[in-house]
Amino acid sequence: MERLAREGRLAETRTSFRTRLAARLLPEIAFADVRESRLVLGMALADPEAVAAAAASRPGHKQLDLFEAAAASASGADPRVAAEDPLLAAVRARGGATWARMVAALDGAIGLLRARGATLADLERIASRGRGVAAVRARTIATAMAALDARLLQFGARDGRAMGALLANAIAAADTVELVTVIGALGIEAKWLLAWEPSDLAWFRAIDEKLSPHGGFARVTLPAFDHPLEGTRERDPLEVLTEEVARILDAPPDDEIIVPVLGDLTFSPSSTPPTGLERLQLVRASDAGLQARAAVVAVEEALAAGALVERVVVALPVLDERTLAPLRRAFEDAGLVSYESRGAPLGSAPVIATAMLALELSASLERHAVARLLRSGYVDAPRLVPEGTDGRDATRSLVRVAQALESSATASGDDPESRLVRTAAAPASTSFRRNEEHQEADAALAGKVANVLAAPAKARTRIEHIRAARALWSALGLGARAGRGGLSAFARDEAPEGVARAERLAIARDARAWDGLVSVLDLYEMTTHRAHALDQELDAELFRLELAELLDGSGSRPGAGRAGAIRFSRLADVPGDPLDLLVVLDANEGLLPRDDGHDALAGPTLLDALARGVDRSKTTFIAPAPGIRRAQELAALAMAAAEAERIVIVSVREDASGAPLGPSPVVTALERQGAVASSVQNEAKALGASDDVLLRVRREREREGFFLDPSRPRSDVVGQIRTSDEARAILRNATGGGERPLAVTSLERFAKCPFMGFAQAVLAAREPMPHDELPDAREEGTLVHDALAEAFTATREAWPKSPRDAEAIMRDGLAAADVVLERWQGHAPLRAIVRLKVRDSVRAVLAAAILDEAWDFALAEKAFGARSRDAWPALHIDYEGERLTLRGTIDRIDQSRGGKKALRVVDYKRSKSTVRDAGSSLGETALQVPLYACLSAQELGVPATGTYLPFQARDVAEAKTPPAVEQKMVDLVTRVGGASISPVEHRAISLVIAARSGTLAPFPADDSECRNCAVSGGCRKPRFAMAPAEDLEEP
Residue 579 pairs in a beta bridge with 644
Q: Tell me 759's DSSP state.
A: I
pLDDT tens profile 895-930: 998 767 899 999 999 999 999 999 999 999 999 999
Q: What gap in Å lies between CA 672 and CA 670, rounded to an integer?
A: 5
What integer is the mean pLDDT of 8-23?
88
Q: Are residues 151 and 206 in the same domain?
A: no
Residue 439's pLDDT is 80
In a domain, 810, yes or no: no
Query: Can you tell me the mean pLDDT for 677-701?
Result: 68
Between 339 and 823, residue with greater pLDDT: 339
Could you tell me the end-to-end alpha-carbon distance of the chain, in angstroms, rounded to an integer?
76
Q: Considering the domain boundaries, does residue 452 fall inside one?
A: yes
215 by Cβ neighbours in 10 Å (0-12 / 13-18 / 19+) ranks as: exposed
**Computed from CA positions of residues 968, 973, 977, 980, in that sequence, does the dihedral angle turn out positive or negative?**
positive
CATH number at residue 599: 3.40.50.300
* Per-residue confidence band for 693, with pLDDT thresholds at 50, 70 and 90: confident
Examine the domain organization and report whether 235 and 205 are in the same domain: yes
Residue 846 is assigned to a structural domain of this protein: no
Query: 375-384, 489-498, 715-724, 992-1001 — which is least confidently predicted?
Result: 489-498
Is the pLDDT at 1031 greater than 50? The verdict is no
Kindly give the pairing relationship between strand 882-896 and strand 855-864: antiparallel
Number of structural domains (the chain) is 5
Q: What CATH number is associated with residue 999? A: 3.90.320
User: Residues 419-440: pLDDT tens digits?
Assistant: 898 888 876 554 455 666 778 8
> Where would I find the beta strands (DSSP E) of 404-553?
none
Which residue, 155, 180, 206, sits at the end of a domain? 155
Residue 49 domain-assigned (yes or no): yes
| Residue 582 · residue 648 · CB < 8 Å | yes
Asked if the structure places residue 494 within a domain, the reply is yes
Q: Are 411 and 432 within one domain?
A: yes
Burial 572-606 (b: 16+ CB within 10 A, else e): bbbbbbebbbbbbbbbbbebbbeeeeebebbbebb
Q: Helices 540-552 and 462-476 meet at what angle, rounded to 10? A: 70
Q: Does one domain contain both 337 and 356?
A: no
Distance, in Å, from the CA atom of 861 to the CA atom of 357, rounded to the nearest integer, reads 42
Q: Is the pLDDT of residue 84 over 70?
A: no
**Same domain as 176, residue 101:** no
Residues 131 and 174 occupy one common structural domain: no
Answer yes or no: is 835 within a domain.
no
From 920, 935, 913, select the one nearest 984 (Cα to Cα). Answer: 935
Give the pLDDT confidence of 505-543 residue by residue, as tens digits.
788 888 888 999 999 999 999 999 999 999 999 999 999
Q: Give yes or no: residues 70 and 126 share one domain.
A: yes
Residue 78's pLDDT band, with cuts at 50, 70 and 90, is: very low
pLDDT for residue 461 is more than 70: yes
Asked if 328 and 362 sit in the same domain, the reply is no
- Say if 839 falls within a structural domain: no
What is the side-by-side strand order in the sheet with 187-190? 187-190, 217-224, 254-257
Look at residue 364 and tell me if it is in a domain.
yes
| More confident position, 95 or 887 | 887
Query: Is the C-alpha dihedral spanning 877, 878, 880, 884 positive or negative?
Result: positive
The confidence score (pLDDT) of residue 422 equals 87
Helix H, strand E, coil C: the string for 203-229 is HHHHHHHHHHHHCCEEEEEEEECCCCC
More confident residue, 934 or 364: 934
Could you tell me the residue range of the domain that residue 53 belongs to? Answer: 30-155
The sign of the torsion formed by the CA atoms of 781, 786, 791, 796 equals: positive
pLDDT tens per residue across span 854-876: 999 999 999 999 988 899 999 99
pLDDT of residue 778: 80
Q: Which of 256, 244, 175, 182 is nearest to 219 (CA)?
A: 256
Residue 283, CA distances (Å) to 585, 670, 676, 910, 950 in order: 10, 12, 9, 57, 62
Between 635 and 56, residue with greater pLDDT: 635
pLDDT band at residue 441 using 50, 70 and 90 as cut-offs? confident
Would you give the distance in Å from CA 462 to the centre of its chain? 28
Are 544 and 578 in a shared domain?
A: no
Residues 131 and 252 in one domain: no
Residue ranges with strand state E in 431-544: none
Q: In whole angstroms, give the CA distance from residue 636 to residue 573.
A: 8
Shared domain for 876 and 890, answered yes or no, is yes
Most confident of 227-236, 456-465, 1000-1009: 456-465
Q: Tens digits of per-residue pLDDT, 468-507?
A: 999 999 999 998 877 665 556 566 677 667 777 777 778 8
Q: Which of 58-72, 264-278, 600-614 has the lowest mean pLDDT?
A: 58-72
Last residue of a domain, one of 635, 667, 685: 685
